[in-house]
Structure 1
Amino acid sequence: MAATLIERYIAAVTKSLDPTTQEDVRAELEASISAAVEARADQGEKRTDAERAVLTELGDPAVLAAGFADRPLHLIGPKYFLTWWRLLKLLLWIVPVSVAAAVALGLTISNAPVGEIIGQTIAVTLSVAVHLCFWTTLVFFILERTGADTGVKWSVDSLPEPHESGAGRSDLIASLVFLGLAAAALLWDRFVGFVVFSTGDLDVTKGLGGQTAAMPFLNPELWPWWLGGALVLIALEAALAIAVYAGRGWHSGLAVFNTVLAIVFASGAIYLLVTGQLMNPDFLAFVVDAGGEGFAAGDAEAAGEGGIFRILAVLTGAVIIGVAAWDIIDGWRKARRAQRG
């Protein structure tokens, strides 16, 4: 004899329950379903339609069984969700970006083709992001099921201070002082020189022998046009800092202007670095002469990667691009925060 809808429903609910509770749940369901069906039948509804309607209202038997067994049907519940989400966002901001930069830098130093650098960087970064999401979620899943305490508790002391929407005078002064020092450093390097060396013999026990002199660190041939352009960019950065202060904060227009300045600076510096025009050739020759055989041996060992100077050039380029990228991101972050404020 075929089982009725009610019998099939109760069997579906109780089959995944602990055997010690199955009979109690079965009796409870039979009583509640029968009462609901009888109530509908007393109102004139056909019994078969009443049974179907009552079972439909009860919903998926697996969900009902989870309620009887006190078994959660979510991966991460509200107790752990915010901690999981905050930690995952922080890790996704730091780990994949760091890995991508490290992989791209290593492949660039090893003189890999551009296509391989891009492909390997994307593949490794995606793999790291997937693993990061999976393992972080798995840890919180285990915490959820075992009922362990993460140790993270909210209190009124953790309330953040409200962000000021405007730019303070201290920010303006710090920016102008930093930009002034940068301009002074460029002029000092050009007309005086940062690299101090001895015109006599070099005695490692007594220091620099003979008279001392100085040479520029940057290529003197960059003056006046390239270094003049750098001074103009510094002046525009100062004007940007004043505009931020006068406007009591950032907005989209200032963020765009800051992005343009950062791209222009990074593009010019990278171009000079790649074409070998950034550093003073006399300084590079002085470094090789001062290093003697040890430096030459090190340079020979690194010949497969293009030599020590090429490695240093790649690292310098990475720093230039990193600083420019951070400046752009920081400007847009501040503009977005000001808009929300």
Structure 2
Amino acid sequence: MTTTTLTERYIAATVKSLTPTAQDDVRAELEASISDAVEARVEQGEERTDAERAVLTELGDPGILAAGYADQPLHLIGPKYFLTWWRLLKLLLVIVPICAMSGVALAQALDRASVGEIIGAAIGVGISVIVHVCFWVTLVFFVLERTGADTGVKWDVDQLPEPAASGAGRADAIASLVFLAIGVGAVFWDAFIGFFPTGGDPIPLLNPGLWPWGISIFIALIVAEALLSVAVYAKRRWTVGAAVINTLLAVAFAVWSLILLVRGELINPEFLSFVFTGNGVESDTMDVLTVITGFCLVVFPLWDVVDGWIKTVRARRA
């Protein structure tokens, strides 16, 4: 049996992944360079075996050396596409899983699934979507990296990001207070003037039975939100304490309104009869409208919570 030297084994490991046309040239180049390096060490007094081992160690992993000869990257995504890949992936991970989970949760609610089933289905779909988004986006950029394709994405100064809104400026405080005032005004307008023409006395949208205590709770939450906006503006920044209070207020509003909706105490029955059931709308359709209303009563406070924490993180970074 023929004994192969370390040099022969190293060269064989290097050229095996190269194209046949390149193997002979690389083999000849390596044989010459390794031989010269070994002889130089031997002339300096090293043993030939030790000199050969030292030279091959300095050359490193033959796979990496072969990738250099073949001009093939040993990473999934290199610096050319990395930032584009990362920015796109972050954007999709913010949008796609939330939309998918919201859609599944709404569908499960319309199918009258239990709360546990809704949460389980939404989480399962969310995890699956996250995995798929990461895999397919990475695969696309992997192919671009290997083929050397040009995405056409070029950076210029117009792409510089605008300063992120802190949510603690005067305009933000005024906008928040005006929005809250409109909310309170809408409640009183609904009670005393009405939003829908009936040909007679106005029929309020909200259940008259909410007056005075139910509406008082709503106004108290509005006042608390207004005070929070003023406090944030006074500090010129969002803090963890402000984000926690904002979260508690949003959760309180969502829980309060959902309990009233489920009990049938939120919307005026007379209004429902005048607009829907009195015009032939069936109970199944009313159930769908109730689910959609409940979905909105969860989504909007949830977005308020997320927005508050995002602004808090930005303030802490600043």
Q: TM-score, normalised by structure 2?
A: 0.94
- Equivalent residue for 2:196? 195
Deviation sequence 1:181-201 (CA, Å, 0-9, x none): 111111222233333312xxx
Matches within 5 A, 1:1-341: 1-163=2-164, 167-198=168-199, 212-288=200-276, 290-292=278-280, 295=281, 299=282, 307-341=284-318
Distance (Å, rounded) in 1 between the aligned partners of 2:68 and 2:110: 58
**Equivalent residue of 1:180, what SS?**
helix
**8 Å CA contact retained: 2:167, 2:311:** no
What is the rounded CA distance, in whole Å, between the counterparts of 2:172 and 2:310 in structure 1? 16
Which segment drifts farther, 122-131 or 53-62? 122-131
Q: CA deviation at 1:161?
A: 3.0
What corresponds to 1:206 in structure 2? none
Shift of 1:290: 4.0
> Counterpart amino acid of 2:34?
I
- Matched AA of 1:316: T
- In structure 2, what is the Cα distance between the partners aligned to 1:263 and 1:41? 78
Q: Which amino acid aligns with 1:101?
A: S
Shift of 1:166: 7.1
Shift of 1:19: 1.9
- Aligned partners of 1:174, 1:123: CA distance in 2, in Å? 38
Structure 1: distance between partners of 2:269 and 2:86: 52
What percentage of aligned pairs have identical amino acids? 61
Structure-2 separation of matches of 1:124 and 1:247: 40
> Aligned equivalents of 1:126 and 1:289: distance in 2?
40
Whole-Å separation in 2 of the counterparts to 1:152 and 1:163: 23
Separation (CA, whole Å) in 1 of partners of 2:278 and 2:308: 43
2:167–2:237 Cα contact (<8 Å) kept: yes
- d(CA) in 2 for partners of 1:72 and 1:9? 21
- How far residue 164 of structure 1 moved from its aligned partner, in angstroms, is 6.0
TM superposition shift of 1:41 = 2.6
Residue 71 of structure 2 aligns with an amino acid whose one-letter code is D
Give the Cα separation in 1 of the matches to 2:18 and 2:317: 50
Q: Which range moved further: 282-291 or 258-267? A: 282-291
Pairwise CA RMSD of aligned residues? 1.7
Cα deviation digits, residues 114-166 of structure 1 (max 9, x gap): 34323322222222222222221121122112211112111122222334657
* 1:207 paired residue number: none
Kindly provide the amino acid, as one letter, of the partner of residue 329 in structure 1: V
Whole-angstrom distance in 2 between the partners of 1:284 and 1:172? 36
Structure 2: how far apart are the matches of 1:289 and 1:109?
A: 19
Give the number of equivalent residue pairs. 317
Q: Given the superposition, is the C-alpha separation of residues 321 and 35 from structure 1 closer, same or farther in structure 2, using an over 3 Å criterion?
A: same
- Range with greater deviation from structure 2 (100-109 or 48-57): 48-57
Amino acid in structure 1 at the alignment position of 2:171: S
By how many angstroms is 1:229 displaced? 0.9
One-letter code of the match for 1:223? W
Note if contact 2:10-2:56 (Cα within 8 Å) is conserved in structure 1: yes
Given the superposition, is the C-alpha separation of residues 136 and 2 from structure 1 closer, same or farther in structure 2, using an over 3 Å criterion?
Answer: same
d(CA) in 2 for partners of 1:48, 1:156: 58
Q: Is the 8 A contact 2:258 2:294 kept in 1?
A: yes
Which residue identity is paired with 1:167?
Answer: A
For the structure 1 residues 16 and 96, does the alpha-carbon distance in structure 2 shift closer, same or farther, using more than 3 Å as the test?
A: same
TM superposition shift of 1:335: 1.1
Q: Matches of 2:170 and 2:126 in 1, distance apart?
A: 40
Q: Matched residue of 1:218: which SS?
A: coil
What is the CA distance between 1:107 and its match in structure 2?
1.0
Q: Alpha-carbon deviations, 1:25-55, whole Å to 9, x = none? A: 1121112212222233333332222222221
Q: CA deviation at 1:289?
A: 5.4
